[in-house]
């Protein structure tokens, strides 16, 4: 039996975490020895739906007409919709109703963390909701000392230039304005923000903030995964100041690459990221400054080995095994024969 991964809307979300999650699903299933399809086939047991666009509703209804299961990925919540694009705060309550309707069409709802699972269950969903990481390709995102020089050559940085990076859409929710404030507080360091959002979609105050960014900040824009890996491996600190996430794939990528990481102390990281163990957490810009300066100066303990171990616990292999487990529990796929089950358990 196969899993049909519905690709409608993928072009729109391809540069976002949702687009990355869709690509991860294909690879997770391949590593779990589960076939996938890009269209309906006679042996497709279920469809994966990842967006909440109108065409996704049609895909779910089409699956029901075929008597197939719908696995809906709950990447979006009302909470992470706020602070994103123009009008998002005013539309957030309506967005909650819409995603509740969409997710309600699923036979199973999957969401990246226990935090997001609790949010979705709080919306009154009647379907089973499971937490399952989006995963990270720890074979690709890994420490690479040679990347430091390549990264610095690419952006004209001196070998000893202290460098801080962040990754995400250029929106308020991702902590963009606080990142710029952090750069002003540490003028001796270089700051780079990887990611891009169409200025027509973001409020004018964010556009102005970017236009008035301090001189030690650069915006390389959206880059491919090779250049992003190079940045993770070549910079000194990853500062992720986002106010709301359902997981944060870029955090997993950073940890996998072994870059010292500082994240905002928000509920989504509860239970898997611990302050002073695998990351540093900060409640405000002042605390970010203390942690970032300490890491740049080498006065804080190195947590990168523990960070790498955290990423490995959410590898694509681990997520694939978890997906298969959910499929079997929800009778989307038959249980594994004992010899195969034992092989997966050893893996």
pLDDT in tens, 219-242: 999 999 999 999 999 999 999 999
- Around Cβ 145, how many Cβ atoms within 10 Å? 9
pLDDT for 266 equals: 98
Residue pLDDT tens, the chain, 347 long: 899 999 887 777 767 888 889 999 999 999 999 999 999 999 999 999 999 999 999 999 999 999 999 999 999 999 999 988 899 999 999 999 999 999 999 999 999 999 999 999 999 999 999 999 999 999 999 999 999 999 999 999 999 999 999 999 999 999 999 999 999 999 999 999 999 999 999 999 999 999 999 999 999 999 999 999 999 999 999 999 999 999 999 999 999 999 999 999 999 999 999 999 999 999 999 999 999 999 999 999 999 999 999 999 999 999 999 999 999 999 998 886 544 454 554 44
What CATH class has 2-135+315-346? alpha beta
Taking the mean position of all CA atoms in its chain, how far away is CA 2?
25
Sequence-distant (≥ 6) Cβ neighbours of residue 310 within 8 angstroms:
252, 255, 272, 273, 278
In angstroms, the CA 222 to CA 100 distance is 31
Q: Please list, residue by residue across 328-340, b when 16 or more beta carbons sit within 10 angstroms of its beta carbon and e when fewer do.
A: eebebbeebeeee
pLDDT for 250 equals: 97
Asked: is 147-312 a CATH 3.40.50.2000 domain? The reply is yes
- Provide the residue ranges of all domains of the chain, joining segments of one domain with +: 2-135+315-346, 147-312
Domain pair 2-135+315-346 / 147-312, same fold: yes
Taking the mean position of all CA atoms in its chain, how far away is CA 150?
25
The β-bridge partners of 48 are 5, 71
In angstroms, the CA 27 to CA 20 distance is 11
pLDDT for 334 equals: 87
pLDDT for 72 equals: 97
The tokens describing 171, both together, are: 């929106």
pLDDT for 10 equals: 74
What pTM value is reported for the model? Answer: 0.93
pLDDT for 338 equals: 47
């Amino acid at each position: 039996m196969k899993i049909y991964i519905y690709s409608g809307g993928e072009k729109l979300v391809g540069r976002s975490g949702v687009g990355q999650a869709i690509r991860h699903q294909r690879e997770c299933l391949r590593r779990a020895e589960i076939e996938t399809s890009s269209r309906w086939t006679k042996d497709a047991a279920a469809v994966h739906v990842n967006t909440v666009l109108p065409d996704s509703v049609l895909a779910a209804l089409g699956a029901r007409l075929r008597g197939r299961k719908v696995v809906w990925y709950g990447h979006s919540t009302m909470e992470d919709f706020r602070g994103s694009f123009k009008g998002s705060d005013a539309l957030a309550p309506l967005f909650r109703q819409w995603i509740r309707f969409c997710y309600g069409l699923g036979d199973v709802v999957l969401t990246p963390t226990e935090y997001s699972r609790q949010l979705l269950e709080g919306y009154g969903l009647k379907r089973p909701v499971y937490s399952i990481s989006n995963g990270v390709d720890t074979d690709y995102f890994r420490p690479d000392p040679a990347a430091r020089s390549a990264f610095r050559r690419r952006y004209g940085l001196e070998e000893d230039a202290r460098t801080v990076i962040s990754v995400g859409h250029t929106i308020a929710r991702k902590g963009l304005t606080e990142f710029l404030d952090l750069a002003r507080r540490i003028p001796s360091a270089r700051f780079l923000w990887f990611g891009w959002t169409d200025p027509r979609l973001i409020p004018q105050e964010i556009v102005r903030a970017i236009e008035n960014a301090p001189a030690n900040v650069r915006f390389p824009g959206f880059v491919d995964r090779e250049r992003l890996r190079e940045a993770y491996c070549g910079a000194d600190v990853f500062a992720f100041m986002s106010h709301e996430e359902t997981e944060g794939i870029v955090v997993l990528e950073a940890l996998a690459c072994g870059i010292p990481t500082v994240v905002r102390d928000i509920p989504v990281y509860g239970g898997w990221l611990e302050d002073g163990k695998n990351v540093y957490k900060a409640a405000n810009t002042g605390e970010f400054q203390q942690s970032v300066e300490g890491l740049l100066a080498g006065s804080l303990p190195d947590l990168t080995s523990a960070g790498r171990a955290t990423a490995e616990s959410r590898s694509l292999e681990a997520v694939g095994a978890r997906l298969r487990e959910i499929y079997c529990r929800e009778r989307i796929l038959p249980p594994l024969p004992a010899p195969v089950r034992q092989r997966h358990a050893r893996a």
